[in-house]
């Protein structure tokens, strides 16, 4: 357990055991990747509901937020991919973590990843719940071991056993959060709220971020009425054939180092203590995105919280784990698919129909 006393705002505090844990997680993640599917898909969040074109318009934000992509009011073009979290591609009717991954293009300046210094992208990755079900690298290692044992269990009805025996008894809070996330009702990924769950730098502040849908009316009717396995994609196709969709993109500043920890992604930062403040508008224009070519483009993309300017550096143990894991897994799946792994460019935006 990481000591949390005497910490300064925004300060990271990696435990000594972390490097070893991350090395083990990388190995386990490679073993967890389903290499038999064609194409080889993402190891987590393989099922996409759609990869859509969007605009990310930075507002005239307060002085202390004018950093990185929020430096001045302007509009970035962006790709947004909505997904299910499970490593199995399964029916949308099954409870799951739901993802929203935003990639701004045309972002100048050196980026954090050594291999992709000159990439022109800035990613923001979110799920449909304010906290994650993993505290840190140790939790990630424990769940990865259990999931590999599940994958390798030869007797189908006994598959849940390793998770129940190896992870659940020692991680009750984490399993409780996972259960609650899986119970979240959603009728349409375009009408849900999403959170970063993990902290990021914003200049001298540490922040979390969220995407908040404008369409509150239909959110009230958030219970799915369709029985289709792919009803999220169908709902998105229908809504985007008729109208533009808007989200507010907002940041929440860390104001207390103990109650709003950097190193524990299972703790929600209180909105009473520090409310989310809008910094940008996301517009997803009316469009037809459900095409073969867009699906192929989507499969080939890689999101990574470390696709970022140094001003937006990811913070905390979970994000330090993600740095290497996303790179290694994305590289491996691209190699297995014999595809070029390359960040998209602003000028390619229009050439993608």
User: Cβ closer to ligand HEM: 2 or 198?
Assistant: 198
- Which listed residue (52, 78, 101, 315) binds ligand HEM by CB under 6 A? 101
Query: In Å, what is the CA distance from 23 to each residue of 18, 20, 27, 209, 333?
Result: 9, 5, 7, 28, 19
Under the binding rule (CB under 6 A), the answer on residue 125 touching ligand HEM is yes
Kindly state the number of chain residues that form the binding site for ligand HEM, as judged by CB under 6 A.
28
Regarding 211 and contact with ligand HEM (CB under 6 A), the answer is no
Residue 133 touching ligand HEM (CB under 6 A) = no
Which member of 49, 81, 208, 294 binds ligand HEM (CB under 6 A)? 81
What is the Cα–Cα distance from 260 to 271, expressed in whole angstroms?
10
Question: Between residues 56 and 303, which has the closer beta carbon with respect to ligand HEM?
Answer: 303
CB atoms within 10 A of CB 216: 10
Instruction: Tell me: does residue 318 bind ligand HEM (CB under 6 A).
Output: yes
DSSP string, 259-327: TS-SS-TTSPPPTTTS--EEEEEEEE-S----SHHHHHHHHH----TTSS-GGG-B-SHHHHHHHHHHH
239 makes contact with ligand HEM (CB under 6 A): no
Binding residue (CB under 6 A) for ligand HEM from 52, 105, 107, 132: 132
Cα gap 207→62, rounded to integer Å:
15
- Residues 308 and 299: their CA atoms lie apart, in Å, by 21
Q: How far is the CB of 39 from ligand HEM (least distance, A)?
A: 11
Asked if residue 322 binds ligand HEM (CB under 6 A), the reply is yes
What token pair was written down for 175?
């399993």
- The answer to the question of residue 267 lying near ligand HEM (CB under 6 A) is no
Residues near ligand HEM (CB under 6 A) are 29, 42-45, 81, 83, 99, 101, 125-127, 132, 134, 140, 196-198, 302-303, 318, 321-322, 325-326, 329-330, 333
């Amino acid at each position: 357990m990481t000591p949390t006393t005497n910490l300064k705002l925004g300060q990271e505090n990696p435990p000594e055991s972390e490097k070893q844990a991350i090395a083990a997680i990388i190995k386990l993640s490679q073993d967890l990747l389903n290499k038999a599917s064609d194409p080889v898909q993402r190891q987590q969040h393989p099922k996409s509901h759609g990869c859509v074109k969007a605009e990310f318009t930075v507002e005239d934000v307060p002085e202390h937020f004018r950093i990185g992509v929020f430096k001045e009011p302007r509009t970035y073009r962006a790709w947004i991919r909505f997904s299910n979290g499970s490593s199995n591609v399964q029916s949308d009717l099954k409870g799951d973590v739901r993802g929203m991954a935003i990639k701004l293009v045309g972002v100048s300046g050196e980026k954090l990843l050594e291999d992709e210094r000159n990439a022109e992208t800035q990613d923001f990755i979110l799920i449909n719940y304010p906290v994650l079900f993993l505290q840190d690298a140790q939790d990630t290692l424990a769940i990865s071991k259990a999931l590999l044992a599940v994958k390798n269990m030869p007797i189908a009805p006994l598959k849940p056993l390793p998770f129940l025996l190896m992870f659940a008894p020692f991680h009750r809070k984490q399993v409780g959060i996972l259960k609650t996330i899986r119970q979240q009702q959603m009728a349409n990924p375009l009408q849900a709220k999403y959170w970063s769950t993990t902290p990021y730098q914003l200049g001298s502040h540490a922040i979390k971020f969220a995407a908040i849908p404008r369409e509150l009316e239909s959110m009230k009717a958030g219970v799915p009425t369709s029985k289709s396995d792919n009803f999220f994609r169908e709902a998105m196709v229908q809504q985007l054939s008729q109208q533009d969709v808007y989200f507010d993109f907002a940041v929440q500043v860390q104001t207390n180092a103990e109650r709003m920890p950097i190193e524990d992604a299972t703790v929600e930062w209180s909105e009473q203590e520090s409310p989310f403040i809008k910094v940008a508008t996301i517009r997803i224009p009316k469009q037809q995105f459900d095409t073969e070519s867009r699906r192929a483009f989507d499969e080939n993309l890689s999101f990574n919280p470390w696709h970022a300017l140094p001003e937006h550096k990811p913070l905390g143990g979970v994000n330090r784990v993600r740095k290497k894991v996303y790179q290694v897994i994305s590289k491996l799946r691209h190699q297995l698919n014999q595809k070029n792994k390359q960040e998209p460019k602003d000028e390619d935006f229009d050439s993608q129909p």
